[in-house]
Amino acid sequence: MPEYPDITLYIEHLRSRVLNEPLEEVRLASPFFLRSVEVPIGAAKGKRVVELRRLGKRIVVALEDDLFLVLHLMIAGRLRWRPRGTKPAGKIALATFDFPKGTLLITEVSSKKRASLHVVRGEDGLRAHDPGGLDVLDTDLGRFREALVRESHTVKRALTDPRLFSGIGNAYSDEILHAARLSPVKLTRSLDEEEVRRLFDATRRTLIDWAERLRREAGERFPEKVTAFHEGMAVHGRYGKPCPACGAPVARIVHADNETNYCARCQTGGRLLADRALSRLLRQDWPRTLEEMEELRRR
């Protein structure tokens, strides 16, 4: 799912292409994409784009007459910039937005159509789509701490809860926790002051650094290769590969559709966290440390 760095990049490139331009036409290719009915999609036709902004992991296109298009790409939704008039083609197409300088194509490579578009009127209508999470890049340590300990969660769950923090998902939370040298399953209310500060600094630094890195990689080109797995990530998507900080193999926890990657040596004092599925299967044979894991591999 595109997160803060990816959404920021999308918005910056859209801003340079469509700000102050009229939305000439909207063509829907999937009946499941448009989720709102109160304001018809036709109301957006011909309206000028006056602002683009991020709302958590959503992209908001603000139009004249107090209209807002709220786009949530979910896991598999992506944006493509094409020559003006390009028509949606294939099963992955969701919609096209035609502008004078080109066409924004929205796609989703998934059989589960989760990406969504809402058309709303007014700031009150827009607020209904705001999960309310704190923007870590626009806050201080005190407010960060308050959000973090509001509920007793694991640090991983707290970081990815959109009601607590804005724009952070599975991928960058792994990178943040590795940078902060914290276990993903440590409870938020058990963190001491030094750990909270470390997490705050690592969160800001990770999001800023990756947004800048993606800017450099894209250059003037519209970002077409938005993915949860980037070359240069420390742990996310690198299961079994060496940690860039210490060389230990990156470990993982798998739960449902989510996978958490971490370095046991850097983050958990060498202790392997129990993977629900495998630990049930192996029971007493489940390795507790990196050393035990290496011993199993040698057998």
Q: What is the pLDDT of residues 33-63, one digit of tens each?
A: 999 999 999 999 999 999 999 999 999 999 9
Residue 196 parent element (H or E): helix 193-218
Q: Single out the residue of 201, 180, 159 nearest to residue 268, CA to CA.
A: 180
Number of domains in the chain: 2
Q: What is the CATH number of the domain that holds 253?
A: 1.10.8.50
Residues 154 and 264 placed together within one structural domain of the fold: yes
Give the residue carrying structure tokens 């960058």: 172
Full-model pTM:
0.90
Burial class of residue 256 in the structure, from the number of CB atoms within 10 Å of its CB (0-12 exposed, 13-18 middle, 19+ buried): exposed
pLDDT digit string, tens, across residues 91-148:
899 999 999 999 999 999 887 889 999 999 999 999 999 999 999 999 999 999 999 9
Give the residue carrying structure tokens 């099963």: 91
CB 120 within 8 A of CB 36: yes
User: Cα(253)–Cα(261) distance, rounded to whole angstroms?
Assistant: 7
**β-pair type (67-72, 58-63):** antiparallel
- Using the 3D structure, point to which of 127, 156, 186 is the last residue of a domain: 127
Residues 219 and 264 placed together within one structural domain of the fold: yes
- Using the 3D structure, point to which of 80, 101, 127 is the last residue of a domain: 127
Residues 151 and 110 placed together within one structural domain of the fold: no
Which DSSP symbol is given to 67? E
User: Cα(221)–Cα(17) distance, rounded to whole angstroms?
Assistant: 11
Residues 28 and 99 placed together within one structural domain of the fold: yes
- Using the 3D structure, point to which of 61, 93, 127 is the last residue of a domain: 127
Domain that holds residue 62: 4-127
